[in-house]
């Protein structure tokens, strides 16, 4: 072996050939969108339009478009201004992770808005990380044209994530600043958390909007599906994600209308006890105690489950006591104890009424003795206060007897 051959053996060897350039994914056959060029580069945009005659679950888009949305403001749910639908943008993101943080990208941003004759969904996709600036530019331009943002958990997740992405990209995120923001998740929880096991958007679709998705991709699978697309360039991997995001946007429009409808119900118009109970709480927050009581009375009429019925009676009794209608409150505490003798709170309140309002010491003694027996059996922390109450009542009875 000559010297040249020996030297070649000592040189580092190439382990792999230079990789071939990554082929751009052809998304058109799967997503039906088009490449969009911006001052910050290119990204991919899918636009879908629905006529206002479109029926999404129990909601017609035309009904959603024509609603006034005054009740959302009436119950104190606006954040920065009134809601005018023609100036509103529905926003939802699909991300590379569900925990947020600086390493999480919003690779797809769905934006929905109404025109006079249709509902438009515009979805901005970054086909690779180098298209993030273009995606953010398009999102910023769309936000600047609207006055209000509607999201589902957007105050906690979507908007903070976009703020982070704009900051890391050293871009000013002015589009969302100063705008009214209606986050539908907190209000949905306030209306239906006792009725539903989950207030996820899919659960609300099925149980409130009367819509069931077919073949929908679970949210937790979306990040890995996108990573697979980045590795393979197969556009078919994004089809389900884009459809999922599209349905989220349309469902937010339908859910907004449903929330407005429920918030506008008068007590006698309520057909769901859970909604009537929730409206009572909202009325109470507005310091309208008498209206809250009307909602609770309707909720009690509609309630079928005992647990719900008793919870409503407890709230009603508390409000009646607050209004100074102690006799009516006592009637509710008696009704509660007839069905739930172990309810020590109601028993204590009824004993207070008999002792201090009705001046019926024997009745107060009887109620307190029964409550104390339950408290001993259950080893309740209320035992000392009930013992003290019973001792005081019996002392009063002895004094009264001695005066005769």
Per-residue pLDDT tens for 313-355? 999 999 999 999 999 999 999 999 999 999 999 999 999 999 9
Please indicate, yes or no, if residue 23 is contained in any of the structural domains.
Answer: no
CB 249, CB 111: distance < 8 Å: yes
What is the dihedral angle through the alpha carbons of 20, 24, 27, 33, rounded to the nearest 10 degrees? 180
The answer as to whether 140 is a domain residue is yes
276 and 174 together in one domain: no
Containing structural domain, residue 116: 28-263
Query: Do the beta carbons of residue 181 and residue 155 sit within 8 Å?
Result: yes
What are the helix and strand counts (H, E) for the chain?
17, 9
* Average of per-residue pLDDT across 33-50: 97
Question: In terms of domains, do 148 and 99 share one?
Answer: yes
Which pLDDT belongs to residue 26?
84
Domain presence at residue 6: no
Are residues 128 and 277 both part of a single domain?
A: no
Nearest CA to 64 out of 179, 124, 150 is that of 150
Chosen domain end from 263, 281, 312: 263
Distance CA 88, CA 162 (A): 18
Domain boundary, last residue among 263, 297, 325: 263
Instruction: Check which CATH number belongs to the domain holding 318 and give it.
Output: 1.25.40
Domain count, the chain: 3
Q: Domain check: are 93 and 156 in the same one? A: yes
Instruction: Locate all alpha helices (DSSP H) within 21-89, ordered by sequence.
Output: 28-31, 61-66, 70-74
Q: Residues of the chain with pLDDT > 90: what percent?
A: 83
Task: State the CB neighbour count (10 A cutoff) for residue 100.
Answer: 14
- Residue 390 and residue 296 in one domain: no
Q: Which one of 293, 319, 338 terminates a domain?
A: 338
Q: Is 18 a member of any domain?
A: no
Q: Which residue has the higher pLDDT, 79 or 355?
A: 355
Residues 116 and 252 in one domain: yes
Is 259 found in the same domain as 161? yes
List all residues 6 or more positions away from 190 whose beta carbon is below 8 Å from its beta carbon.
278, 281, 282
Percent of the chain's residues with pLDDT above 70: 92
- Lowest mean pLDDT across 165-179, 205-219, 340-354, 387-401: 165-179
Q: H or E segment at 199?
A: none
Position 15 in a domain? no
């Amino acid at each position: 072996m000559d010297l040249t051959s020996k030297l070649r053996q000592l040189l580092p060897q190439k382990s792999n050939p230079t990789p071939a350039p990554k082929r751009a994914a052809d998304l058109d056959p799967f997503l039906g969108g088009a490449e969009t060029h911006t001052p910050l580069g290119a990204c991919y945009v899918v636009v879908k339009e629905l006529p206002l005659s479109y029926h999404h679950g129990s909601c017609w888009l035309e009904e959603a478009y024509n609603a006034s949305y005054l009740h959302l403001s009436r119950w104190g749910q606006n954040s920065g201004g009134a809601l005018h639908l023609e100036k509103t943008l529905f926003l939802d993101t699909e991300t590379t992770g569900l925990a947020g943080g600086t390493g999480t990208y919003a690779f797809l941003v769905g934006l929905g808005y109404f025109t006079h004759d249709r509902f438009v969904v515009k979805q901005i996709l970054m086909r690779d990380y180098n298209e993030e600036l273009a995606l953010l530019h398009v999102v910023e331009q769309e936000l600047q044209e609207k006055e209000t943002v509607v999201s589902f958990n957007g105050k906690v997740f979507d908007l903070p994530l976009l703020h982070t992405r704009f900051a890391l990209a050293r871009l000013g995120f002015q589009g969302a600043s100063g705008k009214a923001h209606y986050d539908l998740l907190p209000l949905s929880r306030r209306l239906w958390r006792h009725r539903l096991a989950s207030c996820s958007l899919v659960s609300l679709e099925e149980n409130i909007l009367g819509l069931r998705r077919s073949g929908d991709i679970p949210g937790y699978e979306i990040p890995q599906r996108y990573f697979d697309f980045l590795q393979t360039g197969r556009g078919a991997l994004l089809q389900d994600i884009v459809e999922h995001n599209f349905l989220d946007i349309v469902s937010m429009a339908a859910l907004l209308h449903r929330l407005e409808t429920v918030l506008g119900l008068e007590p006698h118009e309520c057909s769901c006890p859970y909604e009537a109970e929730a409206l009572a709480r909202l009325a109470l927050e507005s310091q309208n105690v008498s209206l809250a009581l009307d909602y609770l009375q309707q909720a009690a009429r509609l309630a079928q489950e005992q647990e719900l019925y008793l919870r409503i009676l407890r709230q009603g009794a508390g409000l009646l006591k607050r209004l100074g209608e102690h006799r009516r409150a006592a009637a509710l505490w008696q009704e509660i104890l007839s069905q739930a003798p172990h309810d020590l709170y109601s028993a204590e309140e009824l004993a207070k009424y008999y002792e201090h309002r009705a001046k019926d010491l024997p009745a107060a003694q009887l109620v307190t003795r029964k409550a104390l027996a339950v408290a001993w059996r259950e080893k309740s922390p209320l035992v000392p206060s009930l013992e003290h109450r019973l001792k005081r009542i019996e002392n009063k009875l002895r004094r009264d007897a001695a005066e005769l």
